[in-house]
Amino acid sequence: VVPGRGRGACTTARWSIGLQQRGGASSEELSLLLALGSEPLQGRPGKSVERREGRREPRQDLRCETQVSGDLETAEGKEKEEDFEVNLLAESKARIQEVVTPALEAWKQSPKLAMEVLGGLAKHRLADVAVHVLGCMQAGRVQADVFHFNAALSACSAGSRWQQALRLLERMPRLLVVPDRISYNTAITACGKAGEWELALHLLFRIQAVRLLPNEISYNSAISACNKGGQWQISLAMLNNMQSVKVAPGDISYNAAISSCSSGGQWQLALQLLDRMPEMRLAPNRISFSAAINACSKGGQWPAALALLNGMPHLSIPPNEICFGAAISACETGGQWQLALSLLVEMPEAKLAPNQIIYNAAISACEKAAQWQFALSLLNTMPAKHVTPDEISYSAAISACEKGAQWPLALLLLKSMPQLRVLPNEVSYSAAMSACQNGGQWQLALSLFGDLPKFKLLPDEISCSAAISACEKGGQWQMALGLLNHMPALMLTPNEISYSAAISACENGGQWELALDLLGRMHEVRLAPNEISYNAAVSACEKGGQWQLACCLLRKMSDVQLSPTFVSYDAAILACARCRQWLVALSLLRDMSEVSGATATAHQSVITSSAGPCDERRAGSWQREGAKEEWHGHVSAISVAPEFRRTGVANRLMEYLEEVSERVHDCYFVDLFVRPTNKAAISFYEGLGY
């Protein structure tokens, strides 16, 4: 036996012993082929058979998709290379043929021997070797029947070689081998694993066209293919169509449909299918419940997920790790970090050991709630529970430290990852950069950004945005613009976060023209500015004394279906107040209160700025006296504002304050004006000339 390498040698020995115990005459050939299969046999790097990511070419019919040139029938019985095209080097093909050729005569006498070899290759997912062995059989005039082809098809399906599976299926009729239902089902499964749901449905319809009746396996494979392709509507249509063709759906059918609804975010439909199973005399199992819990998790329905988990024992279905993991993920999505930790504690009581995925979900739950202490505790617990933390574990913990304003801990975790043989990824660095820049350590954040190439990491949109934000925090608006403009050279497209950070940097640097230019550039590249983008631009105009532009941006927000926030109004009102545009400021203040209630900052923007330099100290003193003195400060400020008495703004502001007091039921404010002896009221009326 040709020795394999590493685990391949052990696998070869086990298969050889197993076949010899059964009296298989082809054990030596299979052992040799398995040993070859454990070695790097694949070539043709330019002709990968894996599915290409990204945009696909328009689908042609199945015949055009799988057609290849050449015919297996040759005058001399020699195999053409294109007939059984495999992704193997020429040297590898020669070695396989050298192993197979001596056994061809025995295979002619007993085709079952060849079947054992092909079946063993299929179980080991050696698709290329199995297809080439089938080609050697044809070249050596060994009669290959539908069972041999089905074994090769199984190898293609198990080895994720859906294109080879389609080519084999297409050649079978030309070789006078009639595909049976198993042939089609195997090809459908191969397409489904690759997400080629269109081809899977095409094959399902072809089964009926060749007068074969599809069975439950046919439909299950097609439904699973639609699930992988994100076609939950078609999955449900296929499930409903099974009864019309007199094929009874089984639990696998419903489980596949529930999983499809889960992938499509249709948690209500997933629960409806789960409820329908008993009506169809089908008993839901762990797979059914885990798929339904996962659907609730993706839909943010953590109460429903917990109800399903807690209801499983009542149906004599003990939850497994997958069920608990889905429920913990549901709690993570719903922000229920305490419940997530509670479920984690329950698992050992149910004799279940949390795995890496479950710990990561629990750490992420703590991260979303800024519970950095618990996140670090879970991370430190993992090795003691024989669970190895990965880059996802550390990234979530670093992000938790970032949200908890613990930038030194975030930096420490990032630096310790290589020592623990965990390579940081882009997410790890981006989280650490955000932690540093939020903690005022913008130089450290930029230093981390520069360290990315050391770990062979390429900057992405998140890390670039974090670096731009660091520049903004450090007042480095030129550097922020440089990073933003350099992103296309890195094959990165700036997003809303990148632009918003750059606009904020320009705002802090007093560059209102550049801020507006960036806001306009977002429209040019078909990016919709969000509230943060507009707020930063309005603030930039306020700092630049551009009250008209600030008001225009405020109106623009409403035009693009964005609701101005307190930050938007505060900046615009302050811009107007600084330019002594009190009537406009008061109008904005009234609009602001109609939206969601005015803030003390906005009140102060109108009143303090209009009081004049000599009275600024008196007009602004209310902020230091506490929330209870807010209204008193307003009235006092009005009374010392000479400009108010001449313009009549005081009367309007008085009316506004009365309206606001009625809405918020401020007893102190009402009491202020019902008592004529109150000094503030007297001062106010004196200021108005009464």
User: Does residue 163 surpass a pLDDT of 70?
Assistant: yes
The answer on pLDDT for 501 being more than 50 is: yes
Q: How far is CA 344 from CA 325, 331, 351, 362, 617, in A?
A: 9, 11, 12, 8, 57
The C-alpha atoms of residue 166 and residue 549 are separated, in whole angstroms, by 63
pLDDT at 25 over 90: no
Percent of the chain with pLDDT over 90: 32
Rounded Cα distance, 501 and 470, in Å: 9
CA diameter of the chain: 121
Instruction: List Cβ neighbours of 60 (8 Å cut-off, separation of 6 or more).
Output: none
Buried b / exposed e across 499-533, counting CB within 10 Å, b at 16+? bbbbbbbbbbbebbebbbebbeebeeeebebbebb
Name, of 67-76, 568-577, 601-610, the range with top average pLDDT: 568-577
Q: Which pLDDT score is estimated for 27? A: 57
Q: Which amino acid is at 376?
A: L
Over the stretch 221-280, which tens digit does the pLDDT of each residue have?
Answer: 999 999 888 899 999 999 988 888 888 899 999 999 999 999 888 999 999 999 999 999
Instruction: Tell me the pLDDT tens digit for each residue of 380-391.
Output: 999 999 999 999
Where does residue 590 fall: left (phi above 0), alpha (psi -120 to 50 degrees), or beta otherwise?
alpha
Q: What is the pLDDT of residues 172-196, one digit of tens each?
A: 988 888 999 999 999 999 998 888 8
Burial class (CB in 10 A: 0-12, 13-18, 19+), 361: buried
At 211 the pLDDT is: 83
**Mean pLDDT throughout 540-564?**
85
Which position has the token pair 């955000």?
434
Handedness of CA 235, 236, 238, 243 (dihedral sign): positive
The residues near 406 (Cβ < 8 Å, ≥ 6 apart) are 372, 435
Mean pLDDT, the chain, integer = 76
**In this structure, what token pair is assigned to residue 68?**
């290849």
| Model pLDDT, residue 54 | 38
Q: Higher-confidence residue: 413 or 160?
A: 413
Distance CA 373, CA 170 (A): 60
Residue 42 carries which DSSP code? B
**Residue 288: per-residue pLDDT:** 94
Q: What is the pLDDT of residue 4?
A: 36
353 Cβ contact list (under 8 Å, min separation 6): 321, 347, 385, 386
Cβ atoms < 10 Å from Cβ of 281 = 7
Give the model confidence (pLDDT) of 286-303 as tens digits.
999 999 999 999 988 999
Task: Assess whether pLDDT exceeds 70 at residue 417.
Answer: yes
For tokens 């709690």, the residue is 331
Rounded to an integer, what distance in angstroms lies between the CA atom of residue 175 and that of residue 183? Answer: 14
Q: Which of 493, 495, 496, 450 is nearest to 471 (CA)?
A: 450
In this prediction, residues 125-144 reach a mean pLDDT of 82
- CA 136 from centre of chain: 45
Predicted structure pTM score = 0.68
Residue 341 CB neighbour total at 10 angstroms: 19
CA distance 22 to 367: 56
Q: Which two tokens stand for residue 326?
A: 């889905």
344: exposed, middle or buried (C-beta count within 10 Å: 0-12, 13-18, 19+)? buried
Q: In this predicted structure, what is the pLDDT of residue 32?
A: 58
Name residue 345's amino acid: V
Quote the pLDDT of residue 55: 36
Q: The tokens of 22 are what?
A: 């059964």
Residues facing residue 88 across a β-bridge: 42
Q: How confident is the model at residue 85 (pLDDT cuts 50, 70, 90)?
A: low
pLDDT tens for each residue of 70-81 = 333 333 333 343
Residues paired with 439 in a beta bridge: none
- The reported pLDDT for the residue numbered 326 is 93
